[in-house]
Structure 1
Amino acid sequence: MEKNVALIALFTALIAALGLIPKITLGFGVPITAQSLGVMLCGTILGARRGALSVLLFLLLVAIGLPLLSGGRGGLGVFATPSAGFLIGWPAAAFVTGWIVERWRGAPVTLVAGLAAVIGGIGVLYAFGIVGMSIMLDKTLVEAAALVTAFIPGDLLKAAIAGMLTSALVRARPSSVLSRAT
């Protein structure tokens, strides 16, 4: 139990630390940040439940006003911006990513973690993000989806990094990758 709490807190801190990397804000108000890599890693390393809890803790800290989002943003106001859908989708993205890694055992970890990060950390996250952008920017779902295409190259790179980091951790310390624990 104590180990789980410590790991959840550690990965919450990882997402916050990735927020120190400067953001690139696109013209429609949604920034490109490294924090979605942290969300992917929560799922690939901690697994579905712990990964989602880590992201929920991070969002709770942001909601109470801590400036943990890239660019020093925080507070309830961030949940009323064009990026709100992405933020709300982070726990679901971590959960789905972790769920896939926990259950798909027949392939190399690098491939499983990378594809899980693409499905959960990109596919699921974009579903939430597109809906959020559609609402906040008063655009159709198709228009919002077209805007999201700007994120695809960077997010594919993050998914590959998540796969490689998870694989390296499995080789170095297999018991520390809870998503693969038996």
Structure 2
Amino acid sequence: MEDINVKSVRYPKATDEKLEKISLKLGRPKKLVVIQMVNYFYGTKKDPIDFNDELLKKELVNGVNRIISFFKKQEKDFLLPMFTDSNGLTIIAKEHTEYFKIIWQHLQKEEKKSDRLSNRMGQLEKEIARTQQYYNEKSKLKSSFREILNYYINQRESLGWPVSAAKKEELQSHVRKSLENI
């Protein structure tokens, strides 16, 4: 097995402090950070001295241009038709609002009518109940009157034709009292 730690690099103490900060920030050992930096620069073919990397700038500009063209396409395909349609929908919504107001007014009128009808039906039910009560009372009254009349006729027949005035008067007063008690 061959030792991979064959080469060493010497660098100033200030660079070591910077490397130490980077490795602590990334949470990796300094050796691993150095290996990863070398792999990064080797893979991207970037010059570490060039802070204004033209390739990076071009990539960023291309990315921004792609994003802007995407937004423009989305605006043309989706937003403009949606705004056009939303204006029409706003007009329709306003018309519907007017229709709903008219329907609401009509419903309020119908509710008032139904309340009046309900009140009238309640009054009719009371009147029917009262009429039924009067009818029952009338039937009772007829029955009582029939009994009194039958009693009068029976008593009058039992007295015969030559009846004394006192007996007639007693029968009449009894019938009058009975009629008053009805």
TM-score band (shorter)? under 0.3
Higher helix share: 2
Larger RCO (CA within 8 A; separation ≥ 6): 1
